[in-house]
Amino acid sequence: MKELNSLLSEKGQTHILQGFDSLPAERQSEFIAEIENIDWDVLALWKHPEDLSGKGRVEPIEGLSLQQIEERKGEYFAIGAEAIMAGKVACVLLAGGQGTRLGSDAPKGAYNIGLTHPLFIFEMQIRNLLAACEAAGAPVPLFIMTSDKNDAETRAFLKEHAYFGYPESHIRFFRQEMAPSVDFTGKLFLEDRGKLSLSPNGNGGWYSSLKRSGADLDFPAIEWYNVYGVDNVLQKSADPIFIGAVIASGMNSGAKVVRKTEPHEKVGVLCLENGQPSVIEYYELTEEMAAMKGNDGNLAYSFGVILNYLLSAKKLAEIAKERIPVHVVKKKIPHIDAQGAYIKPEKENGYKFETLILDMIRLMDSCLPFEVVREREFAPIKNKEGIDSVETARILLQKNGVDL
């Protein structure tokens, strides 16, 4: 205990011991274990959250345009479908996020977007996946990443809805890791006395968490992981044409991309950085780069990523030990105050520490940008209202003939 006290006082975090002495012995040891787990180097990053750690030489990347895909569609489909039939492709649905912007405490996938009847985000995801599997001729293993915050609820919800028709034999859940959060002065937040406020550590840890769970061992033929976010209700996962195109390219990964609508659109862009594929954020593009045109008259940096990647299992195993950068993200973080009262903030009040899957792309060495039609494949639900919201997604779903 003495050591713990001096560690916390060295780190300026003794406030988290509030009420510690009155906790039952079991809670005390759980709390000590939580504290021992803290990566203090990561926590220290709160001091320079806007540090973009310097970009290398950035250049546009070549990708497959809609027209090029259309020309070889049949060939790509055959390659992709064959890989699916051979059990070489698995899906990873990233559903560990907290969806704080949407403002619902339930798992985001359990959000009902229907108007005249219930239609859940998970339901749309599985409906689209089933369509791809039916076209290819076999179901793919579906790994669903959850976090401590929503694991039980996610499992119960999907079970209650009979997995929306997906074969249970092909579904596995795994949990991601959690990380502490701090206020704007770097002080750790408590969720309760003797309990750190922990939140999911970002979607960049999906591979290590999947491996730790061992869930992949049930499907030894996997060569490709199609990894995607839960919140795009037009997401086309296990798309045989995309899979076939990436396999045919001989590259280690592929990313579905949409053309940017205007130079300053707030979307991460796939490009080359020091010759490696890389996703850079919209605010990292200079004015000149954002507006630059390529030979085809399109914006040179126009491939916006939509969080749908295909990654080689072999390459992932090779890079498993590499560290990816930790992002310091402003969020609304519920916590207890010095008096022990529970606070659910209305505004962002601190930082979380997250790794992001987009930072894995650079480590993959090669990545094929694969253009898709935005109106058919991109309807993200991030916010309750306004941009990328339930409203905008509903309009896009209706345009695609989905009965709401």
Positions touching ligand UTP (CB under 6 A) are 94-101, 108, 145, 176, 200-203, 229-231, 354, 382
CB of 176 to ligand UTP, least distance (A): 6
Question: Alpha helix (H) ranges present in 110-235?
Answer: 121-136, 151-160, 206-213
- CB of residue 104 to ligand UTP, shortest distance in Å: 10
Q: How far is the CB of 72 from ligand UTP (least distance, A)?
A: 30
Q: Within 13 Å, how many C-alpha atoms sit on residue 171's CB side?
A: 19
Shortest approach of ligand UTP to residue 143 CB, angstroms? Answer: 11
Q: Which is nearer to ligand UTP, 289 or 357 (CB)?
A: 357
- Alpha helices per DSSP H over 137-233: 151-160, 206-213
Interatomic CA distance for residues 239 and 258, integer angstroms: 15
In the complex, the smallest distance separating the C-beta of residue 267 from ligand UTP, rounded to whole angstroms, is 13
Which residue in the shown chain puts its C-beta closest to ligand UTP?
97
Coil, strand or helix at 253: strand
Residue whose CB is less far from ligand UTP, 96 or 240: 96
13: Cα separation from own chain's centroid = 30
* Shortest distance in whole angstroms from residue 108 CB to ligand UTP: 6
Smaller CB separation from ligand UTP, 60 or 229: 229
CA distance 277 to 186: 33
Q: What are the structure tokens assigned to 339, written together?
A: 């008096």
> Token match 């609508």: residue?
261
Three-class DSSP category at 8: helix
Closest to ligand UTP by CB, 81 vs 210, is 210
DSSP single-letter state for residue 120: B
Token pair, residue 14, equals 């003794």
When the beta carbons of 200 and 350 are compared against ligand UTP, the nearer one is 200
By beta-carbon proximity to ligand UTP, the closer residue of 57 and 323 is 323
- Per DSSP, the residues of 356-367 read -GGGHHHHTS--
